[in-house]
Structures are given as structure tokens and as C-alpha cells.
Structure 1
Amino acid sequence: MTTIDDGNARFYRDNAAAYAGRARRTPAARLEKFLARLKPGAFVLELGCGGGQDSAYMLARGFDVTPTDGSPELAMEAERLLGRPVEVVRFEELCWRERFDGIWAEACLLHVPRTELPGVLARILVALKAGGVLHASFKAGEMEGRDGFGRYYNYPSRDWLLRRFEETGWTAIDIEETDGGGYDGKPTRWLHVAASKPDN
């Protein structure tokens, strides 16, 4: 299984414009908390940028942002908003080495199959400079499955997710739990992870 399986790829291909253009608030409080850990003008990689709203926010704040998405259709939507190229990169294809000060992965790593998540977290770790920081968010649960749109989710528990980060070498791991929603309109328990790459 790849990190974008047929159900996920089909959904984002067929619904790219609607998904990118939905009435979505940029998670300003979480973004500001993430950006506060970085120096002005720091290099940031956004994974799963969707319609590009979060990258636009960070660019407006003066950060050097590389927006990416695994869906070619969503990448095109983000390009329209941002006025710049958006790379099409799947998580298992990440190959940067010590390039970024921070990585923003809001509501995207939740599509990585459980068996592949440790490998993806390791690749993200390599892409960060020493002391670099990550934000990632997941829909909480106890087992992997699909939503009503056929999209795959890993639905981790807090403890399961913490172990995956610990075993792949992350430090300063903090997991905040909040209640919210998603594209499907259903109440959702979210796990927001802040973690760092060791300084040495």
C-alpha cells in the first residue's frame, strides 16, 4: 500500500476544486505557535498543503516556504492561490537532507498507513536541520479505517502515536488533544503533535 491509495487519490482528484475552495479557516493559533519556534525567515516545508492557505499565511509572515502535496490536482489548486510552483511529492518520496528549519504537516500524515508511518517520520526527521521542529495532526482513534468518502486514515491513539515518534528518534514530543471537525462535517477528536529533531 502506498501513502496515497486509490481511495484517497480518487477523492482528491475528483474533488480538488471543492476541497481547496471550501470555507476553511487557517489554523492561525496553531500556526503561530509553530512559527514562534522558528527564527524570522526560516525555511519551512509544508506537507499536504491542500489549497495552499497555510503556506500563504506563512509566506505573508515572511517565512521561506516550500509547499508540497501528494495530489497533482490539489497542487494545481494551491498554485493558483500562491502564484508559485507547488511540488507534487508523496511522503515516501521525501529525500531532502537537513534542508528545513520547520515542517508543517497539518491533517496530512493521517493518511499514511500505520505500517509505513515510522518510515515516513524518519524521512521527515532527515529533512530537518538539527534542532528543527515539526507540527503534525491526526484524527484520533484505535484502529485504521476509511471515512464516508473512502479516504484511508490511520486513526491513532495518543499512546500509539507517541511510541511511533519516540522509536523514530524525535525529542520534545508534545501531543495536544482538541475537539473539532473535518471536511465530512463530523465531530472529530484531533491529536496535534509538536516534536523536534535532536540538536546533535
Structure 2
Amino acid sequence: MTKPDIDDTLIFYRDNAATYAGRERRPPAARLDAFMRKLAPGAAVLDLGCGGGHDSLALLQGGLDVTACDGSAELAREAEARIGRKVDVVRFQEIDWRDRFDGIWAEASLLHVPRAELGDVLARLRHALRPRGVLHASFKAGEAEGRDRFGRYFNYPSAAWLRARFEQADWSEVGIREADGGGYDGEPTRWLYVSAIRAG
């Protein structure tokens, strides 16, 4: 496959931001609850790739100090309208926070990072966490990067490949759970749910 043009993915979100953010979507309550149980009340959390802000709102309602961001300016505006606060426009490769967060929630966002760049982005995220900070991330499983029917890029990792990327980026206590589900494209999807900790 030729080098992925991630701008094509951002173009999709630019052109479909209102539809994507306005769809009926229930936040993943069980995963959110498991994530929040690992955090103290008022903990600082980054909602990375927040999309329409559905999960940001749930995290705020859970009493957490949420920083929401997305790579799409158009989606960020949609999320701002939902949660009533500023949403940062930040691409994964631009993340430069240091020791800022107690948790990072990356639900269906890091799956858009090109395979060749995922290790660097994971290292950036580890630096953004405080020691013992926790991360949740989800990916669509596969064996080779590709695109969906909307033209969006996905890295489609296997569990083994993904675990290696996390371990190479010095994450600790990496756990990967697999489950069947769906997504915006309406296709049956095998999901990989990752939990990890910044050890030090």
C-alpha cells in the first residue's frame, strides 16, 4: 500500500462533521465505567479524538477534569456545542503535553494513525500522562492497513502487532481484549480494546 494520505480521512470528517456528530450514539457505558474506576475524583483526563463529544460529556458528568481534542476543526466545533467548553484542535503527531493527565481516553481514534507513525504517537501519549496514568484505546482489528467504504484510513492491527507497538513505546501492564461490534460504516467489526499504564 502506498503511504496513507490521512488528509483524506480529515476531509471526510470535515465534510460530514454535523452528520457524524449528530448521529444517535450511546457512549460505551461499560468501558467508560471501567476507565473511570481507575481514576480519582476530579482526575485530569484527555479525550483524544473526541469526535462529536459524546464520551467527553459522559466523562464530565462523571466528575472528571476533561480536556477534549480532535484533529478535525469541524468536529471540534460540534463537540464544543455538545459539552459547552473549548475543544482543542490537535493532530496526533502534534501532541506535546508532558506529565499533564491522569488518564487518556482514546476510543476509536488512534485507529486512524498510520502504522509507521503509531510508535511515535504512543510515546507522545505516554509522556502526556503522569506516572501511573492510565490509557484506554480501541482499534479495528485486521492484518494490514486500509480504508473503509468512506475512504477513511485505518491501521487495522492484529492484537500481537499492537501489543508489540505498545511495549516498544515503554507502556506497562498492556492488556488487550477482543470483541465483536460495529461502527459508523455499519459493517461487522472485530474490535481490540487496549488498557495500559505509564509505569514511571
Q: TM-score range by the shorter chain?
A: over 0.9
**Structure 1 alignment gaps of length 5 or more:** none
Hey, what's the Cα distance between the residues in 1 that align with 2:51 and 2:156?
20
Hey, what's the Cα distance between the residues in 2 that align with 1:151 and 1:7?
7
Report the alpha carbon displacement of residue 61 of structure 1 after superposing the two structures with TM: 1.1
**Structure 2 alignment gaps of length 5 or more:** none
What are the Cα deviations for residues 126-181 of structure 1, in whole angstroms up to 9, with x where unaligned? 00000000000000000000000000000000000000001110001100101000
Hey, what's the Cα distance between the residues in 1 that align with 2:177 and 2:10?
29
1:1-200 correspondence to structure 2 within 5 Å: 5-198=6-199, 200=200
Find the residue that maps to 1:115 and give its secondary structure. Answer: helix
Hey, what's the Cα distance between the residues in 1 that align with 2:158 and 2:6?
22
| Number of residue pairs aligned between Structure 1 and Structure 2 | 199
Question: What is the identity percentage for the equivalent residue pairs of Structure 1 and Structure 2?
Answer: 63
Report the alpha carbon displacement of residue 2 of structure 1 after superposing the two structures with TM: 9.5
Contact persistence 1:4–1:70 (CA under 8 A): no
Contact persistence 1:104–1:134 (CA under 8 A): yes
**1:170–1:4: structure 2 CA closer, same or farther, 3 Å change rule?**
farther
Report the alpha carbon displacement of residue 23 of structure 1 after superposing the two structures with TM: 1.2
Report the alpha carbon displacement of residue 6 of structure 1 after superposing the two structures with TM: 2.3
Q: TM-score by structure 1 length?
A: 0.97
Contact persistence 2:4–2:153 (CA under 8 A): no
Contact persistence 1:3–1:92 (CA under 8 A): no
Report the alpha carbon displacement of residue 4 of structure 1 after superposing the two structures with TM: 7.3
**1:158–1:102: structure 2 CA closer, same or farther, 3 Å change rule?**
same
Q: TM-score by structure 2 length?
A: 0.97
| Moved segments of 4+, more than 6 Å | 1-4
Find the residue that maps to 1:116 and give its secondary structure. Answer: helix
